[in-house]
Amino acid sequence: MKIAVVGETRPGERRVALVPGLVSRLADVVAEVAVESGAGAAAGFSDEDYRQAGATVAADALHGAGVVLSVQPIPEHRIGELAPGAITISFLPVAQELDLVRALRDGGHTALAMELVPRTSRAQAMDALSSQSFVAGYRAAVVAAEKLPRFLPLSMTASGTIRPATVLVLGAGVAGLQAIATSRRLGAVVRAYDVRAASAEEVRSLGAEFVELELPTLEGAGGYAREMTEERSRRQRELLAPHVADADVLITTAAVPGRTAPVLVTAEMVAAMRPGSVVVDLAAESGGNVEGAKPGEEVTVDGVLVWGGANVPSQVPGQASQLYSTNVVNLLLHLRSGDEIAPDFDDEIVAGCCVTHAGEVRHEPTRALLAAQVSSVD
Amino acid sequence: MKIAVVGETRPGERRVALVPGLVSRLADVVAEVAVESGAGAAAGFSDEDYRQAGATVAADALHGAGVVLSVQPIPEHRIGELAPGAITISFLPVAQELDLVRALRDGGHTALAMELVPRTSRAQAMDALSSQSFVAGYRAAVVAAEKLPRFLPLSMTASGTIRPATVLVLGAGVAGLQAIATSRRLGAVVRAYDVRAASAEEVRSLGAEFVELELPTLEGAGGYAREMTEERSRRQRELLAPHVADADVLITTAAVPGRTAPVLVTAEMVAAMRPGSVVVDLAAESGGNVEGAKPGEEVTVDGVLVWGGANVPSQVPGQASQLYSTNVVNLLLHLRSGDEIAPDFDDEIVAGCCVTHAGEVRHEPTRALLAAQVSSVD
């Protein structure tokens, strides 16, 4: 079997689905790894790097490939280039990509969506949402440190003492925890809040303070927070307001995949921060946790800099690619049966992330979305 | 006596010579602290902050003031506003400011230059060169972390291990040591080189490796390195080249006040770095340690980003101001005699930093520069 690595074409996407260093890990299961010319360039990997790793580099890498790897979904206009029954592995945000899902289904292709890999310990090494959130969380803290016109650490010098900066992190998932860890490394006083009470221990283990609000917790399935009522949201904002006002840096990371991000911080709360403070909203692309945050932009609101993230993992492209590639390779090796790649569709991981297969949409919520679309067209 | 705080007017200067928090420390020795309206704005201090601290805020703060504080030298066109015999305290790079020195001398003013405060333990708390270098060193490391398209720390995740980045720091004075400490905080592997062998122990105490080159050391006076022969420079560049090529981040901090910075790294050495590497040259304003570095600009040389520093302490304006203010206040309190500010010109610190007094240029090298200028005009 031949595996193809597709060059990314979406604006701002700098990652590549397979880094040269992992090509050899596929040697047992595939006859050829074919990479589109220039696919790794934006992530810092040359065609020559791929050749030295044992891959072939070609413009027609896709031709005859049984498995096609990419970070962003394969563009709809390229579906025709896929071999019959090819397996595509990529991120595939189904709600935004219904036309593409339909085309993959009608083409008889097997589409596996990395963000649908179950968040179980067994599948941890294939969890690309986590690995990319890890990158985004690091990046959020480094960007905040650079944008902040003051020191993060406590500094005691012959010329006096500088008090440490205060960083508030909202949402203590993978990205939040990495933002906490990085801010702590830099010596900031860090506080964090999450609707899931279980995260308190993790927050504290990183040397940060867990902000306790007098509110019921919202533990959800798969490690995600459940959505909350508007009344609870309002009350949460009220209780968070003084913590936000007191912070030099606010980093928000509360995103629920495929949904609009909850507004945790209003423009009024931002305005109550000290001038010169910095807000980093990692959820800006899905609507934003912070009112006024714009993806890919820096806006200044009442003297406070609000940085809206847009494809943040692509800002650390080489290593985000390395982690994503590891996830993809682990999934590929999970799909093997003897010397072949032959997914077992009854397997929990395969069943979880399979969107289309053999002319059908296998992912129940996607099927419902497609049906709703058809009936609304009627 | 009245002390005036002047608003800074040089492009890019965001610091202020006295922060509100230190106004009260002068209460015993001065009758009034008068601040020009808006003087602290760029550093984050409002007129109201100064009023609450007990200062007066006025457009004519300079009028009748016995001591005038600023960060940059007072502009020549404002000399006429100074009261007879006023003492000015500021940075005063004499070699670049000969016209101003002449005007201060002819006006009968006492000009004290913060960069000429002797680097002795007694004067440590007045050492503004050190305090501002401390800020610049922190900033250099944070900027490098933000510009680098990869992680600094070692990261071990379910999706694999990321190796730490390598940071090379050239010049292990105050700025260099702070750049080392901050890069270490962020988890990088740090190496450092300085021509002064004595710095090896300090470098190692921060968890960094001291790069040993087979060259004689160059210990100079006042904690600075001596200048070296062109032959030694060439050999040093040769020996440094592999270390530079191996680094993800290069931070250079080798500046000798009032002199052109030594070129430690040629364009060829930069080109040998991996694409995506980052160079931060803190000496860019005085000619640059790195060939091609431009103050206040980011240039890309063969895929390597070269960031040239320009008034780097002003990028952390509030706290750079706080440290500078502490230095200035400590110097002022050193100048007191009983309840008055009355400098003792025989005192080692005063004698060291006094440029002009009572119609004379007291600083010997400046006098020589002025004499040379006069004779070259002849």
Tell me if B91 sits within 8 A of B128, measured CB to CB.
yes
Residue B125 domain-assigned (yes or no): no
Of A145, A160, A187, the CB nearest to B323: A160
Place of tokens 């006096």: A160
Residues A246 and A265 both lie in one domain: yes
Active site residue B315: no
Q: What is the pLDDT of residue B197?
A: 86
Residues A294 and A324 both lie in one domain: no
b/e A315-343 (16+ beta carbons within 10 angstroms → b): bbbbbbbbbbbbbbbbbbebbeeeeebeb
Q: What is the pLDDT of residue A197?
A: 86
Instruction: Report CA dihedral (B122, B123, B129, B130) to the nearest 10 degrees.
Output: 30
Q: What is the pLDDT of residue B224?
A: 60
Residue B358 domain-assigned (yes or no): yes
Confidence class for position A258, pLDDT limits 50, 70, 90: confident
Active site residue A78: no
Contacts (Cβ under 8 Å, ≥6 apart) of B119? B127, B129, B130, B222, B223
Residues A97 and A21 both lie in one domain: yes
| Digit-coded pLDDT (tens) for A128-145 | 999 999 999 999 999 999
Residues B253 and B327 both lie in one domain: no
* Best residue in A71, A130, A159 for a mutation probing chain B (most B CBs within 10 Å): A159
DSSP states of B183-235 as a string? HHHTT-EEEEE-S-TTHHHHHHHTT-EEPP-SS---B-GGGPBPP--HHHHHH
**Domain stops at, among A255, A278, A310:** A310
Read off the pLDDT of each residue in B93-120 and give the average, rounded to a whole number.
Answer: 96
CB contact under 8 A, A149 and B125: no
Residues A320 and A294 both lie in one domain: no
Q: What is the pLDDT of residue B223?
A: 57
CA A195 vs CA A56, A138, A210, A265, B155: distances in Å: 48, 21, 11, 14, 27
Residues B230 and B265 both lie in one domain: yes
Q: What is the pLDDT of residue B43?
A: 96
**Domain stops at, among B254, B289, B310:** B310
Residue A208 domain-assigned (yes or no): yes
Of B158, B182, B326, the CB nearest to A159: B326
Residue B147 domain-assigned (yes or no): yes
CB contact under 8 A, B162 and A322: yes
Catalytic residue (one of A124, A233, A315, A319): A124
Of A135, A143, A160, the CB nearest to B146: A143
Read off the pLDDT of each residue in A366-371 and give the average, rounded to a whole number.
Answer: 94
Q: In the structure encoding, which two tokens stand for residue B112, read together?
A: 């004290």
Active site residue B119: yes
Using a CB-CB distance cutoff of 8 angstroms, which residues of chain B are in contact with residue A145? 142, 145-146
Using a CB-CB distance cutoff of 8 angstroms, which residues of chain A are in contact with residue B150? 316, 318-319
Q: Which residues pair with B219 in a beta bridge?
A: B225
Euclidean distance between CA atoms A127 and A121, whole angstroms: 10
Residue B171 domain-assigned (yes or no): yes
- Percent of chain B scored above 90 by pLDDT? 87
* Residues on B contacting A at a C-beta cutoff of 8 Å: 44, 124-125, 127-128, 130-131, 134-135, 138, 142-143, 145-146, 149-151, 153, 155, 157-160, 162, 182, 185-187, 275-276, 315-319, 322-324, 326-327
Residue B130 domain-assigned (yes or no): no
Confidence class for position B115, pLDDT limits 50, 70, 90: very high
Using a CB-CB distance cutoff of 8 angstroms, which residues of chain A are in contact with residue B124? 158
Of B127, B131, B319, the CB nearest to A150: B319
Res B113 pLDDT > 80: yes
Residue B55 domain-assigned (yes or no): yes
Q: What is the pLDDT of residue A221?
A: 61
Q: Which residue of A has its CA nearest to B316?
A: A149
Residues A141 and A157 both lie in one domain: yes
Residues A300 and A345 both lie in one domain: no
* Best residue in B127, B142, B159, B332 for a mutation probing chain A (most A CBs within 10 Å): B159
Res B152 pLDDT > 80: yes
Active site residue B127: yes
DSSP states of A135-151 as a string? HHHHHHHHHHHHHSSS-
Of A124, A315, A326, the CB nearest to B149: A315
Res B240 pLDDT > 70: yes
Q: Which residues pair with B357 in a beta bridge?
A: B360
Closest by Cα among B9, B12, B6 to B34 = B6
Q: What is the pLDDT of residue A31?
A: 87
Nearest CA distance, A162 vs chain B (angstrom): 7
**Domain stops at, among A288, A310, A332:** A310
Distance of alpha carbon A33 from its chain centroid, rounded?
26
Residues A190 and A49 both lie in one domain: no
Residues A185 and A279 both lie in one domain: yes
Q: In the structure encoding, which two tokens stand for residue A335, read together?
A: 């799909």
Cα angle value B356/B360/B364 (rounded, 5°): 70
DSSP states of B35-94 as a string? E-TTTTGGGT--HHHHHHTT-EE-TTTTTT-SEEE-SSPPPGGGGGGSPTTPEEEE---G
Q: What is the pLDDT of residue B226?
A: 62
Residue A284 domain-assigned (yes or no): yes
Res B161 pLDDT > 80: yes
Nearest CA distance, B321 vs chain A (angstrom): 11
- Percent of chain A scored above 70 by pLDDT? 97
Q: Which CATH number covers residue B34?
A: 3.40.50.720
Total domain count, chain A: 2
Res B66 pLDDT > 90: yes
Q: What is the pLDDT of residue B124?
A: 95
- Structural domain including B61 reads 2-116+316-377
Nearest CA distance, A287 vs chain B (angstrom): 25
How many helices (DSSP H) and strands (DSSP E) are in chain B? 10, 19
Complex ipTM value: 0.92
Nearest CA distance, B309 vs chain A (angstrom): 14
Confidence class for position B373, pLDDT limits 50, 70, 90: confident
Catalytic residue (one of B130, B178, B183, B322): B130
Using a CB-CB distance cutoff of 8 angstroms, which residues of chain B are in contact with residue A319? 150-151, 162
Using a CB-CB distance cutoff of 8 angstroms, which residues of chain B are in contact with residue A190? none
Residues A167 and A293 both lie in one domain: yes
Active site residue B138: no
CB contact under 8 A, B160 and A318: no
| Reported pTM | 0.93
Indicate the SS3 state at residue B137.
helix
Residues B294 and B341 both lie in one domain: no
User: Whole-number mean pLDDT of chain A?
Assistant: 94
